Structure 1
Amino acid sequence: MSVDDVQAGCFRHLLSFSFRKKRPEREKNDVSTKSARRLTELPVVQVPEAKLEESERPGLSVKEGELPPYANAGFFCAHSNTQAYADLVKPPAYSSCELGEYFRPEVLETIEDTLEKLNPALRELSLDILHHPEIQWEEKRTHDTLTVFMSSHGFAVTQHYLDLPTAWRAEFTHTSSSNADAKLRVIGVNSEMDALPGIGHACGHNLIAIAGVGVALAIKAALEKHDVPGKVVLLGTPAEEGGGGKINLLDGGAYEEMDACLMCHPSPGPPNYVSIGPSLACQPLEIEFFGHGAHAAWAPWEAQNALDAAFLAYSSVSVLRQQIKPTHRVHGIVSGKDWAPNVIPDYAKMHWIVRAPTWAELVALRERVKACFEAAAHATGCKLTLKAGPGYYDLRQNTPLGEEFAKVVKDFGVNAQFDEGMAASTDFVRTFLSITPSLHPCHAIPTKPNGANHTPQFTEAAGTPEAHAKTITVMKGLAATGFRILADGEFTAQVKKAWEEQMKE
């Protein structure tokens, strides 16, 4: 398995955090990783001089040997789609909003009618993507399928956007006949496309892809019918599963003109439930041990065993897990080359992912994990290199956007909650942290027990009619929310004010 196969993104299980610390101050425009595919290279050095060199985000540094103060934290994790799970996490009423209390009901009718007409085509599109899975940076067929579809529905399409082979952009602009000089606001939408190696669309990106398409087309129809000026930009975003495709798009300026950006994600959960919560910060690490080979029986004393180093590192991290917070995650695999039982391995590679509720906590945890690798190299006499992949910051949802979305989907029997979030990560956070207000709800689809994201069972669930129907409902809420950004300047100002306040935290 190559480093491109490392799965840093996507959602697995609903996770409840009892307490969350206030986040450290952030600089809005600093992006430490300029390329999602480029790893931070470090020279091969003799331990103990191995260092993980990476430009840290200003305001998030942690002093050497010092850990940030952690709040007490607990978590809840249960089998998905079981009655016990539903009873334990059954959410209270979202708010005091009455049914129907949302912006311009006639617009929602237009959105509903549009999605009803598109439903068969969207279902066909979803199954086509599901049955032709393509992993990160290889979404060529999906790229062509979606761009042809958007072009046929009146969008101006740019293929291979920003010189990324599988990224694309589709946009539509409506100028009001009654107010040609009105300022055009811009709503952005994301369609993810990549699958997972070996298990296909086990994170439901076929549903995310059609959700972006449906939301963009529904907003277009509403702008035209109700003569509201505005611009819709749909981005086809490759390589969410560890490649950080949205980071490349962000660095290329793809999100800069947007007044807000929307997307959704399927997950397990109680029936008719949508989570509007945070995600974990995460970073992939590539570890290489370089030893010296020898005949395993004839002269083993001449060797430095790289596989021993990897096993020691793995065991050390496993022991470390007993002393890390329940809200933290460290997980990895071991690989090598041309191993044979009678030859002491001179090389071993490991891929790890470190996750924590905030970037500051991740930096501190990463240093503790790095010490495990250095200790293994010390013990075996091997050399060590460490490479850091693109970091994903923790997701924070925009409150006014979430409230508007919740009002709309409540009318369809869906309970959307600002809850405690998920034990997973996404590259979508970079758009929120540095450029524009964003909303990323996670909607529950029916799954088998122990069949959450990143399992073959979830691949099966992502193709069911029930999952499709749940996604259509979420499209209605996102489209109505996105339309309001374009039509209601006062609401947009509230959204941006809330975002600016969050950036100060």
Structure 2
Amino acid sequence: MTANLAPTPCCDCGRPYPAGVKFETCKSAPFFPEARDTIKAALAKYDAELNAISDYIHANPELCWNETKAHARLTSFLSGEGYTVEGFDQYPTAFKVSYSRGNGRVFGLNSEYDALPGIGHACGHNLIAVTGLGAFLAIRAAMDAHDISGTVTLIGTPAEEGGAGKCALYEAGAYSGIGACMMLHPGRGLEHVQTSGTVIRSYALQGFDVEYKGKPAHAGLSPWEGVNALDAATTAYTAISSLRQQLTPDTRVQGVITDGGSAANVIPDRTALSYIVRTNTAKQLSTTVPRVMACFEGAATTSGCTVSTKTSHKLDELRNVEALGDEYAHVMMDMFGDAPGGTHIELAYGETMGASTDFGNITHLLPGCHPMFGIPTAPGAFNHMPEFTAGAGSKASFDESMKHTAAMAAVGVRYLLDEKFADSVTTGWTTMMEKVKNE
């Protein structure tokens, strides 16, 4: 078993956690083991139902903003358990449900459930759906069993894949009053251990849909009468390819020509491209995007075409609060460090993975954490590959997801119960956001 743990101080005793050791080395650990036992029991109680929900969502992939079956399955289950489910008129596949005991802090959870075009749940959102749901049920069980005051809230967040659903829901008030928020996301597991996870940043992102319009003409009889929109598209593509050598190594600019014309003997009067710009920070994005836009506009000028550009919702880089990430890692090692097959949890707060998420925006608005957990997949299968779809639908992957669900629920219980820990979450986020402003 391994744990790459940052040497941050324990919020109980103030003693640093040495890197690479288990959480048990802290004199005050584990925090509230009785609550952890309750969490495990609750997840065991709902195991078959959570697995069935995951399987159903996996077998019925739906694209962003159209997740009607997933929404119905999740909300009908919650209603059947006696919860009042709140909807959003403008976002019919979103939902929100809360459970409260007395007064206290509010801990938020997220469930995603949209799929990818053509390859289904190749990002494992069926598992994200039940990790959020499972943690909600487990925290509620702990609140009841141990008389814990506060509120746990689960938000059903559609349209992560290209729709920035969480950003829309934040603007609709879904996150109002939440003091800290978490979610889990599957990725390819490590080959040498069975259970793995990492807490890592993600890229900021801006997407573009670009359209060029020219003038059609017969390509053989009178090509000079046309204005070639394909020339504009290829010029833009080439210009951006040349621009890459002037960009920092951590910048990604990716694009495709989605419409290049329909016949070789006709000068194309319309072409279209789709591009994504990713950078390490949103601030870096603000300086990179204008350079890419200049390529689009310059191509229009040189070809004589007109250009129109539609931008997607900007996604901020993911910023994990270290107090939440540290607690997740230590709980994972304490609960599952001795599990068969080995356990490895990595805390990589200063590193960036090559993906982006709308949860990044949420972490700039309130304290959050987004651990990635490993699932068994075919060799070489990563997120957004067809082979990952199969891995995300296996019972072994569901079982791994429930381990991390238990850890996330334990973090939530501590946030509700432990004022010192909750203060460290808030202070850590405030300090981090001040640093972000000055980067």
TM-score normalised to structure 2 length: 0.89
2:51 pairs, out of 123, 138, 154, with 123
Cα deviation, 1:335-382, whole Å, max 9, x if unaligned, reads 238712221110111111100001121122212212221222122111
- How many Å separate the matches in 1 of 2:224 and 2:314? 40
- Residue 315 (structure 2) aligned to one of 386, 392, 401: 392
1:248 corresponds to 2:168: yes
Which of 1 and 2 has higher RCO (CA within 8 Å, sep 6+)? 1
Residues 162 and 480 of structure 1, relative CA distance in 2, 3 Å threshold: farther
SS of residue in 1 equivalent to 2:119: coil
The equivalent of 1:418 in structure 2 is 347
Taking the aligned partners of 1:212 and 1:465, their CA distance within structure 2 comes to: 18
Q: Secondary structure at the match of 2:151?
A: strand
Structure 2 distance, partners of 1:111, 1:369, is 49
> What amino acid sits opposite 1:503 in the alignment?
M
Q: Given that residues 78 and 85 in structure 2 are in contact (C-alpha distance below 8 angstroms), is that contact kept between their aligned partners in structure 1?
A: yes
Cα deviation, 1:128-167, whole Å, max 9, x if unaligned, reads 00000000010011111100111222322123x2531111
Matched, 1:450 2:380: yes
Q: Which has the higher helix share?
A: 2
Q: Determine which of 460, 467, 483 is the counterpart of 2:397.
A: 467
Distance in 2 (alpha carbons) for counterparts of 1:220 and 1:458: 32
Which residue number corresponds to residue 371 of structure 1?
A: 294
Q: Residue in 1 aligned with 2:93?
A: 166
User: What pairs with 1:347-358 in structure 2 (closer than 5 Å)?
Assistant: 347-358=270-281
Say whether residues 1:98 and 2:18 are aligned partners: no
> 1:240 touches 1:427 (CA, 8 Å); kept in 2?
yes
Q: What letter is aligned with 1:463?
A: G
How far residue 228 of structure 1 moved from its aligned partner, in angstroms, is 1.1
Q: Which of 337, 362, 365 is the aligned partner of 1:431?
A: 362
SS for the counterpart of 1:297 is coil
Q: Would you say the 8 A contact 1:94–1:415 is kept in 2?
A: no
Instruction: Note if 1:404 corresponds to 2:324.
Output: no
- In the TM superposition, what are the counterparts of 1:83-94 in structure 2 within 5 Å? 93=20
Partner of 2:46, secondary structure, is helix
Letter of the structure 2 residue corresponding to residue 207 of structure 1: L
Residue 184 of structure 1: CA displacement?
2.1
Deviation of residue 437 (structure 1)? 0.8
In structure 2, the CA distance between the partners of 1:147 and 1:96, relative to structure 1 (3 Å rule), is closer
State whether structure 2 residue 427 is matched by structure 1 residue 497: yes
User: Structure 2 matches for 1:268-417, cutoff 5 A?
Assistant: 268-270=188-190, 271=193, 272-336=195-259, 339-411=262-334, 412-413=336-337, 414-417=343-346
What is the identity, as a one-letter code, of the residue corresponding to 2:389? Answer: T
**Contact 1:250-1:430 at 8 Å conserved across structures:** no
Which shows bigger deviation, 375-384 or 136-145? 375-384
Question: What is aligned with 1:195?
Answer: 115
**Range moving further from structure 2, 402-411 or 313-322:** 313-322
Matched to 1:471, the amino acid is: S
After superposition, the CA RMSD in angstroms is 1.6
* Contact 2:261–2:270 (8 Å) recurs in 1: no
1:174-198 deviations in whole A, cap 9, x for unaligned?
23xxxxxxx3211110000110011
The residue type equivalent to 1:432 in the other structure is T
Q: Which amino acid aligns with 1:462?
A: A
Q: How does the TM-score come out when normalised to structure 1?
A: 0.78
Q: Distance in 2 between matches of 1:403 and 1:112?
A: 20
> By how many angstroms is 1:250 displaced?
0.7
Q: Which 5+ residue runs of structure 2 have no aligned equivalent?
A: 1-18, 338-342
Query: Partner residue of 2:159?
Result: 239
Tell me whether 1:135 sits opposite 2:58 in the alignment.
no
Distance 1:94 1:321 in 2: 42
> How far does residue 416 in structure 1 lie from its aligned partner after superposition?
2.3
Q: 1:338 to 1:368 in 2, by over 3 A?
A: closer
SS of residue in 2 equivalent to 1:353: strand
Q: Is the 8 A contact 1:291 1:382 kept in 2?
A: yes
What's the offset of the Cα at 1:95? 6.3
Select which of 53, 74, 96 maps to 1:146.
74
